[in-house]
Amino acid sequence: MKKNVIKVTDLTVAYGRLSAVKNVNFDVYEGEIIAIVGPNGAGKTTLLEAITGIIKQKEGTIEFLGQQIDQMSVFERRHMGMFLVPQEKNIFPWMSVLKNLQVCSLLNTKTKTAELIDYVYKLFPILKERQKQVANTLSGGQQKMLAIGMGITSHSRLLLIDEPSIGLAPKLVTRVLETLKKINSDINKTIVLSEQNIKVLNIADRIYGLEAGKVRLSESIENLGKEEIKDLYLGKIYS
């Protein structure tokens, strides 16, 4: 039986009187790729930020590797093995590519750091070519690769990624998502990503459909029919 990595129970997150996430129940098991899908404003980013401690929940509990982490800081959760790749501001702009990768590997040994950076360079050869280049001068797609690479060098038990396809050309979206699948397969990395692009269904094991902060659909990809998928992305499943 696979180990439970994240267990979210009756989670509610509010901004003032407005509840962005409402009574959400959410489970992730070791080695899975979980896709959180839904329209803009559905609460996808809020859910990821609550899990990582960037924002605090109003109600409910969050467990990571069997331990309740509700009152833990972002740093404590990071130290336990949790890493978030935000949609924006996800690199250190004035550092080199190499320094970005090294900074996220500070909790590792030098040997492990070198091993992980080498793996990132094999996934994204362009980053090796530009390892001395200032990160802010990379193209948008290259910066996205770097941000994912930083998640890899963090050597986290759980990698959370917010909207990795945003701003990317269709071919690059496919490449990035296929790379996430490879990471999951190569090093058994547990991944949770929020995503609006339908191509995410090609790599995910299970999906959670959010709308107005509530889970409207929770299903294994293999059990989703074509009509359900179409309804999901046309918004019919939320009506």
Over range 16-43, report the average pLDDT: 90
Q: What's the pLDDT at 157?
A: 92
Q: What's the pLDDT at 239?
A: 45
Task: Return the minimum-mean-pLDDT range out of 70-84, 87-101, 139-153, 217-231.
Answer: 217-231
**pLDDT greater than 60 at residue 204:** yes
- H or E segment at 29? strand 18-29
**pLDDT greater than 60 at residue 223:** yes
Helix, strand or coil, per DSSP, at residue 191: strand
Beta carbons within 10 angstroms of residue 158's beta carbon? 22
Domain range annotation of the chain: 1-81+157-167+188-239, 87-155
- Give, rounded to a whole angstrom, the gap between the first and last alpha carbons of the chain: 36
Mean pLDDT, all residues of the chain: 90
Over range 130-148, report the average pLDDT: 95
As a CATH number, domain 1-81+157-167+188-239 is 3.40.50.300
* Predicted confidence band of residue 236 (pLDDT cuts 50, 70, 90): low
